[in-house]
Structures are given as C-alpha cells and as structure tokens.
Chain A
Amino acid sequence: MNLDDYRGVWVFIEQNAGKIEGVSLELLGAGRELADKLQVPLGGFLLGNEIKQLANQVIAYGADEVYMIDNPILKHYRTESYMKGVMLLAQKYMPEIILYGATPNGKDLASAVATDLNTGLTADTTMLDVDVDNRLLEASRPAFGGNIMATILCKKHRPQMATVRPKVMKALDPDSGRVGKVIEEKITLQEEDMRTKVLKIVNDVTKKANLADAHVIVCGGKGMGDIQGFQLIHELAETIGASVGGTRDVVEAGWLPHEQQVGQTGETVTPKIYFAIGISGAIQHVVGMKNSELIIAINKDPNAPIFDVATYGIVGDALEIVPKLIAQFKSQKVEQGGELSYA
C-alpha cells in the first residue's frame, strides 16, 4: 500500500428518509478543518434513493465534492448494500480519511467497511486533529469507561477511519453560495442478491431526545425536596428545550424512570450544558457527567463536591433560584434551545 496514493478527507452523509442527520453536518464542519490543514478537498458521500436534491446542502455545509450513489436498493440502510457502495467509492477515489457519525447505522457501516478495506477504525471519537507533517489523523476517545482519553493513530493503513459522537463537533453556518462538484456512481446490486429486508421502520418521535445524545440536560437531585419540588426541573427543561436527568437517589425515590438516571449505573452524558441542581456530586454521579462542556451547579451547601466539577456555581436554595431562572429565560423569549436543529 502506497500511503501517498490516498488524498482527501471524506464524510459519510447519513440520511434517513431524505433528511440528513445532524451529526453528518457536524462532521462536515470538523472535516473542513482537517481538509484545510492538509490542503486537500473535503468530500461528502451520500447513498440512498432519490437523494440528488441533498447534494446542495452537503456543499453548503462545507464540502467541495459530493460522491453520490442513487439507487432504489439503497432506499433503507442495510449493511450489505451500503457497504458495497462505500467500497466502490473508497477504492476508486482513495481518500486518506473517512469520518462517520457514531450512530447505529454509521457504526455498523464503518465497522464493515474497515474490515473489507483492511484498515483501522477508531470508535466513538470525541476529539479530532491531524498531524500535518505525517498526514496522521489523531482521533481521541474516552477509554476505560470514560476515566481517561486515548489518542488512536493508524500509521500504515489507509484510509484512516473514525466514527465520531453526535453533538461534539460543530457544523458550519450553511452557505448556499458555495460551489462544489457532484460525482455520481452506479452500483449494480439486485434485490435477489440481498440477504436482509427491512420490513418496517417505526419512528418514536414522541420520546425526548436520548439523554446520551442530548445537547442540554437539566439534572436534579434529592435537594429538590420531593416530587413536587422536582417539577421545577421539568419546568426549567421545558423552558429551554432540554432533556431531564436525575441522580440515582431521585430514581430510587420514584421521581423519574431509570432511563433518565445519569451516572455510573445510569447514562454517561456529554451535553454542551449540564445543569446539576440539588445534587451533592457523589463520584458515581460525577463519572457520568463530568465531560459535559459547561456545568452549572446550584446547591445550598457551599462545600458540596459538585462545585469541584462545576464551571459555574450558584450557592443557594434551588427552590428559590430555579423559578427565577425560569422567569429570566422566559423573558428572554428563549426558543427551542436544547436541541440543535439544522435548516
């Protein structure tokens, strides 16, 4: 393998029913930066059925090139058909880096492609950089249950591949004036060759965004007093469009279902903003939220350990502070803040 034959940074553009996933747009932002450092074009590759109209959006979000396979067999994601398509593109155009969103489909696809390309794949990356002199992707990820970060390198194989967690990279503001090239390829798969069939897809839109993927989380602890007091947590979350979490003690008290527990025996979360309200900050809780980008703690005990991990702390009675916060946010006329949405 001659490493110098490989050039360019690529992003897998995951679409479901004709809508591009947020993480793919975020990766175009991250990929743009890597491509600029390496002085190569940024490509987005897009597979599906009747998806041609999406190419402009991929370019607007930062791509120079869009590689596209549009075929009825790609209507729904299936490992078998999608990986064939990606193999065709990757072997023909030989990018040096390929990024995928760490979604169920993105991870599934990347794992299969890495095996067939006989190359390295870093899972669930949360930081990306590039060593320009050696053209090496530096993909960092939490290791050992999130206790530490490890930078993974792939020195002798190309392409270098990584899956990247949703909501850790930043999408660029779309620029509809950007110009780019669209390259179409064809695959010749027949439905008879396929060993899997998608019988039906059920979207559960009523459910609030997965805690693990939430952008803003309001998490409450026993300090809210009782289930009535905990309503303030729901109210604040509602006001700013955030997801609600709780400590184990809160879940054990029956104020919240277990799926919403944050911590060692619950979810590990990495939102942009984490409100810890009436939470002491026991280590079992902290391991599940300490990598949040901005942590705001409200606790009446100035010595509560939560203040050691908080970016900003308010010492005071949550039952007094939270209603004030809600009122303030409301007067700012906050709109859906919790979940980033892309036009």
Chain B
Amino acid sequence: MHIVVCVKQVPDTKIIKINPKTNTLDRRSAPAILNPYDAHAVQEAVKIKKKTGGTVSVLSMGPPQATAVIKKSIEIGADQGFLITDRAFAGADTLATSYALSKALERISKEEPVDMVICGKHAIDGDTGQVGPGIARRLDVPPVTNVIEVTEVNEQEKTVVIKRKLTNGYELIQSQMPCLLTVEKEINDIEYSPMPNMIKAARYDPIIWAVSDLEDVDRSQLGLKGSPTIVGKMFTPPRPEGGKKLEGSADEQVNQLIEILLEKKDLFTLQSSK
C-alpha cells in the first residue's frame, strides 16, 4: 500500500495581520505552519499504514522553506517526502497547482505505484478545497471529498469504504483504488509524535525536484501563466449600517428592536399571523 499525502505550508491565518493601507498580507506577522487539515491527512495515512503496511509519502509544492512541513509530516509518521520547488510554479491558482502536483505524483508512482492520495479538505490560506478533486481528475482516479472516516481498506479487492460528510448527515461510499480522498478534521486526533519520529524528522532531508525533474510538463500550464483566475481587487468588507444604540427604557428599546426586525422581513422571515 502506497499512500501519498499532499501537504501545504500556509501562513497561520489566526494570527495574520492585514496592512490596512495596502490591503496586503503582513508576512512577518504570520508564522508558517503545516495546513491543519493536512496534518490530519498525514495522521490518517499513518493510521491506515499501521493496518496494511506499506509506505506513506508526502508531497508539497512551495518555496524551499516548505521543507519544514515535510519534516513535520515525518514527525507524524510519514516515511519520505518530496518538495517540488521552482520559480515556474509561483503564482499558481488551484488549476495550475493541481497540474503541477499531478505531474509530481506521476513521477512518484513510477517509483512505487500509488494506491491512494490524501489531501486536506482545504488549505486555510486559499480556503478553496479545489486542489484535491483537481488532482483526482488529472490522474483519472475517483475523488471522495469531505471524508470523516475510512471505514475499511481491502487490499485484495483494491477497494475502500469511506464515510463522507454531507450538509445534513453523511454517506457511505465504496470506491476502487487508486482513489483520492480529502479529509475533514474530525477524521482523527493528531497523536503525540514518538521520539524516534522526532529524531528522524530532525535529520531528514526531503527529496527536492524542479520542473526539469518532472516528465511531459507543459510549462504553459504552470504557475501564474497556467492560472485562469486572477485577483482583481482587495477590499475590506463593507460594514452594515454601523453601531446605533437604541434609547429609552428597557421596554422601549425592546419595542424599537422588534419594529426594526419586522421592517426587515426579508432578512428575517418573521410572519405575523393575521
């Protein structure tokens, strides 16, 4: 069983600061971390491997510093890691990202055929969740998104049974392998990394590839050039009609509020029954 997990280095959006004058990201304010969903993806791959044996590889596309998230993945229990890094990848949107990652996955699977690819549900910086299904299409394997449980892995039959979260509830899906999963956080708890993993991670040097290390790459599909979407403008969201404090006694204030809400029937489908 060979599982490849796609991991992304992201700025920690919890602590991020936006420069209000330029509307750009103040990078110094944001430490780079392993995308939290991807940590769960690595953990799940390690869990599966405990049952089936095999190899867990991780793959990332990003600047040279992104080796940090590969090392982090080794701590969680991955066996090996690949970083594709090249100026040509820069500025990629989700379409160009899935293209580049799928080319790297093709090379990885030449060395050892891949049975399963796991991605996070989304990356907390881009927040799109589009890269996983994109990779699946490019590799022509079935995608199963929003996975909350890998219920069964049958290596002989090459099938998996998966619980997939829906808006109201979940569904149980059986998929052939190879396949691609994107995982929710509730799929597992990140376990405490054992000491040998920490030591291995500290010493580990990820395998680094440039575009020239990948085969059959159409350069026009990479990076900014290969990205159909562009950011037009950035703006702070308009505030709704700002802070008005109501006045009068408690009863008067309550009455005013009710009146306001009744006026905004379209917002609030209050129906006074006649």
Contact = CB atoms under 8 A, between A and B. Distances in A.
Interface of A: 21, 76, 79-80, 83, 103-105, 107-108, 110-112, 114-116, 118-124, 138, 141-157, 170, 195-205, 207, 210, 213, 216, 240, 264-265, 272-273, 291, 293-296, 302, 307-317, 320-321, 324-325, 328-329, 332-337, 340
Contacts of A204: 168-170
B133 A111 contact: yes
A273 B198 CA distance: 47
B255 A328 contact: yes
Given A145-B13, A151-B233, A294 B240 contact: yes
A311 B240 contact: yes
A144 B19 CA distance: 12
Contacts of B93: 120
A324 B143 contact: no
Given A145-B14, A311-B244, A213 B167 contact: yes
Contacts of A205: 168-169
Nearest to A296: B257
Contact of A119 (B25, B170, B228): B228
A145 B267 contact: no
Nearest to A322: B254
Given A296-B257, A310-B243, A321-B254, A195 B167 contact: no
A204 B148 CA distance: 15
B152 to A, nearest CB: 10
Given A272-B267, A307-B243, A196 B142 contact: yes
B68 to A, nearest CB: 20
A246 B238 CA distance: 25
B264 interface: yes
B130 to A, nearest CB: 4
B216 to A, nearest CB: 16
Contacts of A124: 127-128
Nearest to A76: B171
Nearest to A109: B133
Nearest to B172: A199
Interface in B162-180: 164-176, 179
Contacts of A103: 167
Given A144-B13, A311-B244, A80 B133 contact: no
Given A152-B229, A197-B174, A334-B270, A329 B250 contact: no
B161 A151 contact: no
B interface majority secondary structure: mixed
B133 A112 contact: yes
Contacts of B173: 196-199
| Residue among B14, B227, B250 with the highest chain A CB neighbour number at 10 A | B250
Interface string B174-193: 11100100000000000000
Given A144-B125, A311-B242, A153 B230 contact: yes
B236 A149 contact: yes
Contacts of B95: 114-115, 118-121
B245 interface: yes
Given A144-B16, A196-B176, A335-B273, A312 B237 contact: no
Which has the most chain B C-beta neighbours within 10 Å: A115, A120, A149, A203?
A: A115
A33 to B, nearest CB: 15
A120 B229 contact: yes
B269 A107 contact: no
Contacts of A336: 269
Contact of B243 (A203, A309, A340): A309
Contacts of B164: 104
Given A144-B125, A196-B175, A332-B270, A152 B231 contact: yes
Contact of A111 (B18, B130, B262): B130
Given A195-B142, A310-B243, A312-B246, A112 B231 contact: no
A148 to B, nearest CB: 5
B129 A111 contact: yes
A273 B269 CA distance: 11
Given A145-B13, A148-B234, A325-B254, A112 B125 contact: no
A321 B256 CA distance: 12
Interface in B1-60: 11, 13-14, 16-18, 23, 25
